[in-house]
Copies of this chain bind each other. A is one copy, B any other.
Amino acid sequence: MSARQVTLAEVARQAGVSLATASRVLNGSTRQVSGDLSERVLRTAEELGYVPNASAQALARNSSSLVGLVVHDITDPYFSCIAAGVTRVAEEAGLVVVLGTTGRRPEREAELLSTLRAHRARAVVLAGSRTTDRAAQARLAAEIDAFTEQGGRVACVSQAKLGTDTVVPGNRAGGRALARALAGLGHKKFAVLGGPSELVVARDRLAGFKAGLADAGVAPPVVVNGAFTRDGGYEAALELLASKSRATCVFAVTDVMAMGAMAALRERGVRVPEDMSIAGFDDIPTLRDTVPALSTVRLPLEEMGEIAAGLVLDGGRDEARTVRVAGEVVLRASTAHN
């Protein structure tokens, strides 16, 4: 139990070389070490089962091999897809990802950033959606500043933050294109299941959708707001039904919300798409296989995670970069002609 860990010093002693030499061999510094010694060190390290102490390295080098990833809820396919992209890139780069979940509490985001800063994470990907809550936003901005000042890089997914690299999906454009496509199906009365109004993602998608309807000369939609979750979609759909709206097509600003909404419609005996067409946004994998398959705006989620990780790890230029990824309207069985 607790057999003391093998240290570099032991390896060095065992191999009959200095600490410096052992260090140089085992981490590939710029300095050369003769093949002879080098091999001896390698061999003893192997024999002793030496594993470098990452904390000590981080301390000595003043930089760790940690990359932070902050999401609201890892259970949500939107986030888990992004997480998959981020981890893939990080692991390829030999880094380790630290997963933080906020549970959608804005203050947690700042807390996590602070923790990550304590760990001297070299970068962090913020995948949460931006809130418009002033205080939380200021606190977060301060943490981001502190983090970058300390030499770390920050990238955001789908929420531009001052001075950070960002991957922004075409929320507005996607919403707009979707609206036109749906209007093209002949629908005249639309409803939108919007997210909480303080989320810019939700607002952008909604704004785009409205613009698209306007393009098509269709009346503005009824909007019902709900939480950005499956249950939020469920509740919002019930509320919509209760309102006796005459909508024939409903747009949920998120696939996950659409999922909840479909459950609500089904429970109330509203057939999709016969009685009501429904579309979402994101194209999370699970909803491609459902019946009816969900019409949506496809976002390359894993790729977005990869891009974000790439931005944040590529040694970093100074100015903030923004990468836009386009959404692609995919009409499936959940939307019908009207």
Contact = CB atoms under 8 A, between A and B. Distances in A.
A224 B322 CA distance: 47
Interface of A: 1-3, 5, 49, 51-56, 58-59, 64, 66, 69, 73-75, 77, 80-81, 83-84, 87-88, 91, 96-101, 114-115, 117-120, 146, 148-151, 230, 259-260, 262-263, 266, 285-286, 289-291, 302
A8 to B, nearest CB: 12
A150 B56 CA distance: 16
B98 A98 contact: yes
Q: Assembly of this chain: how many copies?
A: 2
A99 B69 contact: yes
A97 B99 contact: yes
B259 A289 contact: yes
A322 to B, nearest CB: 20
A150 B3 CA distance: 6
B118 A53 contact: yes
Contact of A149 (B3, B69, B119): B3
A115 to B, nearest CB: 6
B150 A5 contact: yes
A77 B75 contact: yes
A51 B118 contact: yes
Contact of A74 (B2, B83, B150, B289): B83
B75 A74 contact: no
A96 B84 contact: no
Nearest to A73: B84
Given A99-B98, A262-B289, A291-B291, A53 B120 contact: yes
Contact of A54 (B1, B99, B119): B119
Q: Which of A52, A55, A56 has the most CB of B within 10 A?
A: A55
A266 to B, nearest CB: 7
A75 B81 contact: yes
A197 B45 CA distance: 37
